[in-house]
């Protein structure tokens, strides 16, 4: 540890600030010792917590320091975090001293991120380079990376303590170097040279970038980056030890490689590399390319890990081996042997498992894939050849035939025992049965082995015992066979007559069907096989019909003879998402390009129809399908029975159709020859810009153009400069910012513009921007409208690009939304590209929507199970993320670090939110403890009580999903239907004082929730490992929902007057409890049509409060809920999800018509509504005694976040309460918690625990007790602004205003959401803030205190200073002028601040304030 001690000493003596990363062991000990013993100076020594971000700490603490030092033992995490902040850190007087052991893989990432990078191999070098780095960083105000080997040993001559500061402050010494390298490298090297010369003058030891040893005229030069033993002399070899990695000039490299050298070996101590070739290797290759020499120098890269591998004999062997046999890829030195790692088993593309899993699932141990890649290690690469597999199968079948013959012959032997004869006879009867042949064969084998019978047939049978079980033998092939059927192995398999099954995967995407080689004609394998007459043929597509695929595979196995199954699996590569496969499959099947069918020649022999079409699109249009030249152009039987007239007319029509199509194709080709290729780049967060970009690409391809698509961030300036015609499509994020997947290119363009570069001399471009002119209505904010599109158009021009079409803008406020502007812009594109005259007749493919995904999901299965097993990504496929919502799961990512991870080149930090279904919000102490444990073991350590009275877990990574859900189910809870287009968690009032009534409404809530629960078994199969029987996939059934489920989510609440704590009017369906004079539940008033979600700027969307439509009894309630939901199911908008909620259906149909249809379905009319009244929609905190003598206490949980904080260890406290509590917990819709049903004798114990953990504190302002917020950042993918993390800060400031005006204890309902979807029900709050961009909110006023009235937009855009400026005089006036009992929401209407909202459709009317309080808008 000498190196750590000496580096710590230099850092301590040289720096003003010293930071070290915990746990840092020896560094911490060294600094403690130095603090105790050093006399001259004591810098500030700070530690960075384990797992903390060192870069952030350095930026915070090192500001203003003349020199800061950071010391740390290497971790890949800290290195990556330093890289992310390298731009800011590089300009600080900073030295990063990083100790490594035997691997430089990750620390080399810092080489290109920082201006200086030096490396030390001995403790003395570490001492000298620490001094050099300190002087260089202090003098030049630039960061220096100093890497040293912490385990290196050796003597150290330390500089005297009193000499360190004078050395750092001494004048610069001219380096005297004369390097002919271009700027800025030469300038940086001059700075390094000056510092090195000063250091050498002080220490009397050389500080050089490269140390050369060995032969003066070598044939081989070895560059060494790593800690190796002392180098011995080897004739003809020189060794170059790297001491300076940056800046390392080509001239220094070339000086180390004399003209005599013909081979260069780059030896680096790495366990892995982030790129194939390391930066040092590339620097050496680049330097050699500059040399004008007649001889060619070969360069080879070798990685090693253990220095002991490089003993002198091994080093000599390595040098000569690599010089004699140069290899074109890096070599690894492993156990003294050079190797190029390669997998022993060929890689199988992950998507192909979709079909192999079906085979494994159906056949289990019977399955034998005869050309499986797993055979390669034993049989060589030829084992995967289908032709080779055919030979293997023929041999196996011959062997089984010999077994059968031997068994039959043995049964004729007189000495055979009766039992053995019985077993062999039984096996012959079941020899073709997959399971029975295996079981009986095992018994027969055991009997033969124990038999005393001496007969050669016994030995022969035992030698063939492996063939007792009947196998399902399969060969997997590709569509390559379809190009040369006559001479391919497929022809031989079909003609063989063997009982063999062939699965042929066709991976050509439908959208690429016309991009194949025109000189290679792909024939129809299915038609070819059917023409043979005795072959079973099926065409399947697992992403279209899973049931048909199962049925076809089982029929193929039953067929005695060859079977050919054509399987469609359209993908371009490993990273093709499942949604893309689903889309391509849908297009192919719906268009008839890939018909689903089954052909069984056995049926034909029985006189039955042998051909069955399974794809509906083809059934409806059979004649057109027969005319197509796709995979099935004619139906031909082995014995032709088609009338001559039909055949001839069919032939003529086909000829004429082909002639017309050929002429059209020729005309299009002539146009396409002149049309330039088009690249379409998009930046999109919500998907709208992406859809427009894909539409543009599809239409370009339909015009015969070569068109490609990508995100803005998929291109660099250099690659963009090589393009000729590029169309950009971008939307807006936040306050005029570009979307997430376009920000890197925007930054690069802005930087290039500042440098006055002109890289786009050959680029012709056009830009289409999408925005909302009303989103920022104030005059000073008007420039945010379509800002990214406008900025991009200007930047491209400034960088030398030429517009081929002027900027196009789409505005959400236009009659057709952005389509209005797009319809004007797109024709100009085709005209500019010369393809406007091409007639496009092919219909555009229908976009895949949530409705398609639901229908194709096999009742919510999709490919979720396969996605969970995919360890290459932390995410699920986009289509599956729509389905997991039905299972109570949302995919999210940490948006706080999204930009950092993108800069690193890694995927977002994906995690998942799990929402539990808890009808009525009630759980037992045992269930609470399980939820608490799950949050610690699988989530982010906190629990979230939601506005629908249930638990939410955040930060659950993919591999923890299944364990979490299984643990939830173990305590009789689940997550099914907690989200998705179904009825979600049914909530009810907490009402602690009315125990009997609460029990009734709670049981009613559970009954309704259970009655409307989806019936699919997918949840249990995927999460609880309840295995699916193959045939059951076809029989799964949803009696209420059907395969499409609901158009949108559906929410139900049950309220008990006088408390509307569930905000009954904000729900799709509500039940208001009506009690008789004795307090017994008589029934419910039914409310209908509430809903919160809105889209900013889209006036077709609005919140709505529910209407009371009648009264029903308790027994009628579940049936009423069912019929209302079914009416919505059948009448809701399935085209536009933004207008799909029940509230829009009610307004579209009319309330009376909707009610009439519900009553028609019920078979009776609802009774007239009964009287009721509400007083508030907030919770009432503190202790309450119930009618049954049990006690209840309502606990304040700010925004529902149950966590431990300094001084507020709520999570621990509730855990301790749950351990002893004998009642229940009730979660409220306002995100608070009741500890309920406490026996009187347990009250003191519960009170003591509440006091111990400060859970009994309700001494908060009325404003804070009435506030509520959704989660928003960092996890919610829809959030536009902060909510849960910011509302407490805002309440701190607003409650001061309230206190100044004597309103501390007055309740004002304030709510905040991070987006307009309304999870915290902001549109019925008295004052609300709805996020639009970071730090920017829409402000709403005038909601009813008990949720009976919608509020209205008062200001469309406000920030915190404006919020406080508006509320301060408003609250003061409320305090002075309010009437007795008048609530804040009522006052702002009476005082003329805002107009009342009388119904949802009028929500936008008179928005922006009234009279003198009206906001002036640009629109």
Burial string for 276-302 (b: 16+ CB within 10 Å, else e) reads eebbbbebbbebbeeeeeeeebbbbbb
Can you state the angle between helices 353-363 and 546-558, rounded to 10 degrees? 60
Return d(Cα 1102, Cα 1402) in angstroms, integer. 9
820-824 long-range contacts (CB < 8 A, ≥24 apart) are: 821/768, 822/692, 822/768
Give the length of the chain: 1419
| Contacts (Cβ under 8 Å, ≥6 apart) of 334 | none
Backbone angles phi, psi at 152, to 5 degrees: -65, 145
Residue with tokens 């200086």: 116
1024, with CB counted inside 10 A (0-12, 13-18, 19+), is: middle
- Annotated catalytic residue, options 795, 984, 1000, 1190: 984
Give strand pairing partners of 709: 680
> How many of the other CB atoms lie within 10 Å of CB of 1294?
22
Q: Are strands 68-73 and 94-100 parallel, antiparallel or unpaired?
A: parallel
- Annotated catalytic residue, options 979, 988, 1112, 1270: 1270
Alpha carbon 1403 to its chain centroid, in Å, reads 36
Cα–Cα distances in angstroms (integers) from residue 209 to residues 28, 144, 189, 265, in the given order: 30, 14, 10, 18
As given in the structure block, the two tokens for residue 691 are 């859809």
Return d(Cα 493, Cα 565) in angstroms, integer. 13
**1065: closest CA among 1052, 1082, 1081, 1080?**
1052
Find the radius of gyration of the CA atoms of the chain.
38
Residue with tokens 């193959």: 1030
- Annotated catalytic residue, options 923, 988, 1112, 1276: 1276
DSSP class per residue in 291-357: S--SSPPEEEEEEES-GGGG-HHHHHHHHHHHHHS--SS-EEEETTEEE----SS----GGGHHHHH
- Annotated catalytic residue, options 699, 703, 795, 1049: 1049
Task: For residue 436, indicate whether it is catalytic.
Answer: no
Give strand pairing partners of 298: 263
CB 1262 within 8 A of CB 1303: yes
Burial string for 45-64 (b: 16+ CB within 10 Å, else e) reads bbbbeeeebbbebbbebbee
Task: For residue 915, indicate whether it is catalytic.
Answer: yes
- Annotated catalytic residue, options 915, 917, 1190, 1332: 915
CB 1395 within 8 A of CB 1389: yes
1221, with CB counted inside 10 A (0-12, 13-18, 19+), is: buried
CB 918 within 8 A of CB 949: yes
Return d(Cα 1136, Cα 1047) in angstroms, integer. 9
Task: For residue 988, indicate whether it is catalytic.
Answer: no
The DSSP code for 1256 is: T
As given in the structure block, the two tokens for residue 538 are 């099926």
- Annotated catalytic residue, options 1319, 1332, 1352, 1383: 1319
Task: For residue 1051, indicate whether it is catalytic.
Answer: yes
Angle at 59 between CA 53 and CA 64, to 5 degrees: 155
> How many of the other CB atoms lie within 10 Å of CB of 1302?
10
Task: For residue 1049, indicate whether it is catalytic.
Answer: yes
Q: Across the chain, which distance is largest between two alpha carbons, in Å?
A: 116
Residue with tokens 């380096």: 175
Task: For residue 1276, indicate whether it is catalytic.
Answer: yes
- Annotated catalytic residue, options 958, 1315, 1352, 1355: 1315
- Annotated catalytic residue, options 431, 787, 885, 1051: 1051
CA dihedral 1352, 1353, 1358, 1361 (to 10 degrees): -30
**1254: closest CA among 1299, 1217, 1219, 1285?**
1217
User: Active-site residues: which are they?
Assistant: 915, 984, 1049, 1051, 1270, 1276, 1315, 1319
């Amino acid at each position: 540890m000498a190196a750590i001690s000496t580096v710590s000493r230099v850092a301590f003596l040289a720096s003003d600030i010293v930071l070290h990363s915990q746990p840092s062991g020896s560094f911490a000990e060294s600094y403690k010792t130095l603090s105790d013993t050093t006399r001259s100076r004591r810098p500030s020594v700070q530690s960075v917590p384990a797992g903390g971000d060192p870069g952030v700490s350095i930026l915070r603490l090192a500001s203003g320091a003349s020199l800061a030092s950071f010391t740390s033992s290497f971790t890949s995490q800290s290195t990556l975090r330093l890289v992310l902040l390298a731009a800011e850190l590089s300009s600080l007087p900073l030295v990063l001293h990083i100790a490594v052991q035997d691997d430089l893989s990750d620390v080399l990432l810092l080489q290109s991120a920082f201006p200086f990078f030096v490396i030390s191999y001995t403790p003395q070098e570490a001492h000298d380079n620490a001094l050099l780095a300190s002087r260089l960083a202090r003098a030049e105000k630039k960061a220096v990376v100093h890497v040293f080997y912490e385990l290196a040993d050796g003597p150290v001559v330390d500089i005297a303590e009193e000499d360190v500061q004078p050395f750092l402050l001494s004048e610069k010494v001219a380096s005297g170097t004369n390097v002919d390298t271009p700027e800025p490298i030469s300038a940086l090297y001059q700075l390094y040279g000056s510092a090195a010369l000063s250091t050498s003058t002080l220490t009397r030891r050389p500080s050089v970038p490269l140390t050369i040893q060995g032969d003066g005229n070598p044939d081989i030069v070895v560059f060494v980056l790593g800690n190796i033993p002392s180098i011995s002399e080897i004739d003809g070899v020189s060794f170059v030890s790297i001491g300076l990695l940056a800046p390392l000039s080509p001239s220094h490299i070339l000086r180390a490689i004399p003209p005599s050298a013909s081979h260069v070996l780059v030896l680096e101590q790495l366990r892995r590399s982030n790129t194939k070739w390391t930066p040092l290797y590339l620097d050496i290759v680049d330097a050699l390319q500059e040399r004008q020499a007649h001889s060619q120098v070969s360069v080879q890269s070798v990685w090693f890990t253990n220095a002991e591998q490089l003993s002198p004999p091994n080093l000599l062997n390595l040098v000569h081996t690599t010089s004699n046999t140069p290899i074109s890829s890096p070599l690894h030195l492993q156990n003294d042997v050079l190797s190029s790692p390669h997998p022993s088993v060929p890689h199988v593309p992950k998507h192909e498992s979709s079909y192999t899993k079906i085979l494994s699932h159906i056949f289990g141990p019977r399955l034998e894939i005869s050309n499986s890649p797993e055979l390669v290690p034993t049989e060589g690469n030829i084992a995967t050849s289908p032709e080779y597999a055919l030979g293997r199968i023929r041999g196996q079948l011959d062997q089984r035939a010999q077994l059968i013959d031997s068994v039959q012959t043995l049964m004729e032997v007189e000495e055979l025992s009766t039992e053995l004869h019985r077993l062999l006879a039984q096996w012959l009867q079941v020899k073709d049965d997959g399971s029975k042949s295996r079981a009986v064969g095992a018994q027969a084998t055991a009997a033969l082995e124990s038999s005393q019978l001496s007969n050669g047939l016994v030995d022969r049978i035992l030698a063939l015992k492996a063939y007792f079980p009947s196998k399902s033998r399969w060969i997997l092939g590709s569509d390559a066979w379809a190009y040369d059927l006559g001479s391919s192995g497929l022809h031989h398999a079909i003609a063989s007559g063997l009982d063999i099954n062939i699965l042929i995967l066709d991976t050509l995407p439908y959208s690429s069907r016309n991009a194949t080689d025109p000189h290679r004609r792909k024939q129809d394998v299915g038609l070819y096989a059917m023409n043979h007459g005795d072959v079973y043929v099926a065409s399947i597509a697992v992403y279209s019909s899973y049931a048909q695929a199962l049925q076809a595979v089982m029929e193929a196995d039953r067929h005695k003879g060859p079977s050919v199954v054509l399987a469609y699996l359209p993908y371009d590569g490993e990273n093709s998402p499942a949604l893309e496969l689903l889309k391509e499959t849908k297009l192919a099947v719906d268009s008839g390009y890939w018909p689903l069918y089954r052909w069984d020649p056995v049926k034909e022999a029985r006189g039955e129809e042998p051909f069955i079409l399974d794809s509906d699109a083809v059934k409806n249009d059979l004649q057109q399908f027969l005319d197509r030249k796709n995979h099935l152009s004619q139906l031909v039987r082995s014995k032709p029975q088609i009338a001559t007239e039909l055949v001839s007319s069919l032939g003529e029509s086909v000829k004429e159709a082909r002639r017309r199509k050929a002429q059209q194709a020729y005309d299009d080709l002539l146009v396409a020859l002149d049309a330039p290729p088009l690249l379409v780049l998009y930046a999109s967060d919500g998907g709208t810009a992406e859809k427009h970009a894909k539409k543009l690409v599809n239409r370009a391809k339909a015009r015969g153009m070569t068109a490609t698509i990508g995100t803005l961030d998929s291109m660099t300036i250099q690659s963009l400069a090589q393009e000729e015609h590029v169309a950009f499509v971008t939307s807006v994020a936040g306050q005029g910012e570009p979307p997430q997947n376009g920000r890197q290119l925007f930054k690069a363009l802005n930087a290039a513009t500042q440098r006055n570069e002109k890289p786009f001399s050959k680029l012709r471009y056009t830009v289409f921007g999408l925005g909302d002119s009303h989103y920022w209505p104030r005059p000073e904010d008007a420039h945010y409208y379509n800002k990214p599109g406008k900025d991009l158009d200007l930047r491209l021009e400034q960088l030398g690009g030429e517009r081929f079409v002027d900027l196009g803008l789409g505005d959400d406020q236009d009659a057709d939304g952005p389509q209005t502007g797009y319809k004007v812009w797109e024709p100009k594109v085709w005209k500019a590209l010369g393809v406007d005259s091409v007639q496009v007749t092919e219909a555009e493919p229908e976009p895949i929507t949530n409705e398609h995904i639901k229908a194709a999901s096999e009742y919510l299965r999709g490919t979720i199970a396969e996605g969970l097993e995919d360890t290459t990504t932390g995410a699920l496929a986009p289509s599956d993320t729509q389905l997991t919502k039905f299972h109570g799961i949302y995919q999210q990512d940490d948006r706080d670090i999204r930009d950092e991870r993108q800069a690193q080149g890694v995927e977002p930090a994906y995690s998942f939110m799990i929402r539990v279904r808890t009808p009525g919000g009630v759980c037992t102490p045992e269930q609470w403890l399980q939820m608490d444990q799950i949050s610690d073991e699988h989530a982010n350590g906190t629990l979230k009580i939601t506005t629908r009275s249930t638990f939410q877990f955040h930060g659950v990574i993919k591999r923890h999903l299944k364990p979490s859900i299984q643990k939830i189910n173990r305590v009789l809870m689940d997550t099914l239907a907690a989200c998705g287009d179904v009825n979600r968690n049914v909530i009810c009032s907490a009402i602690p004082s009315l125990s009997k009534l609460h029990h009734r409404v709670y049981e009613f809530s559970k009954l309704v929730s259970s009655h409307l629960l989806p019936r699919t078994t997918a949840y249990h199969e995927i999460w609880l490992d309840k295995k699916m029987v193959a045939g059951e996939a076809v029989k799964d059934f949803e009696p209420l929902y059907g395969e499409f489920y609901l158009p949108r989510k559906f929410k139900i609440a049950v309220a008990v007057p006088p408390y509307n704590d569930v905000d009954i009017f904000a729900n799709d369906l509500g039940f208001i409890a009506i009690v008789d004079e004795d307090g017994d539940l008589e029934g419910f008033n039914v409310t209908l049509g509430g809903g919160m979600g809105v889209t900013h700027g889209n006036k077709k969307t609005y919140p709505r409060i529910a209407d009371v439509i009648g009264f029903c009894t308790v027994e009628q309630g579940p049936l009423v809920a069912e019929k209302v939901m079914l009416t919505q199911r059948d009448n809701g908008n399935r085209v536009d999800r933004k207008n799909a909620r029940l509230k829009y259906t009610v307004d579209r149909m009319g309330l009376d018509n909707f009610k009439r249809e519900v009553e028609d379905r019920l078979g009776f009319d609802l009774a007239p509504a009964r009287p009721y009244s509400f007083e508030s929609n907030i919770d009432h905190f503190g202790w309450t005694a119930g009618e049954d003598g049990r006690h209840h206490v309502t606990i304040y949980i700010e925004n529902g976040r149950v966590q431990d904080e300094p001084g507020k260890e709520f999570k621990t406290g509730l855990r301790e309460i749950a351990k002893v509590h004998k009642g229940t917990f009730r979660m409220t819709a306002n995100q608070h918690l009741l500890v309920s049903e406490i026996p009187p004798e347990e009250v003191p114990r519960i009170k003591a625990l509440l006091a111990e953990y400060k859970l009994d504190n309700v001494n908060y302002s009325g404003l804070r007790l009435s506030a509520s917020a959704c989660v928003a950042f960092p996890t919610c993918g829809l959030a536009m602004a902060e909510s849960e993390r910011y509302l407490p800060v805002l309440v701190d400031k607003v409650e001061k205003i309230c206190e100044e005006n004597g309103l501390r204890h007055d309740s004002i309902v304030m709510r905040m959401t991070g987006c307009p979807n309304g999870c915290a029900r902001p549109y019925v709050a008295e004052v609300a803030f709805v996020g639009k961009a970071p730090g920017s909110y829409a402000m709403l006023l005038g909601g009813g205190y008990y949720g009976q009235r919608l509020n209205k937009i008062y200001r469309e855009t406000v920030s915190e200073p404006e919020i406080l400026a508006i509320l301060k005089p408003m609250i003061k006036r409320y305090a002075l002028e309010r009437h007795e009992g008048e609530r804040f929401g009522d006052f702002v209407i009476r005082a003329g601040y805002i107009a009342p909202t009388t119904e949802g459709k009028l929500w936008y009317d008179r928005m922006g304030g009234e009279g003198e309080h009206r906001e002036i808008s640009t629109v």
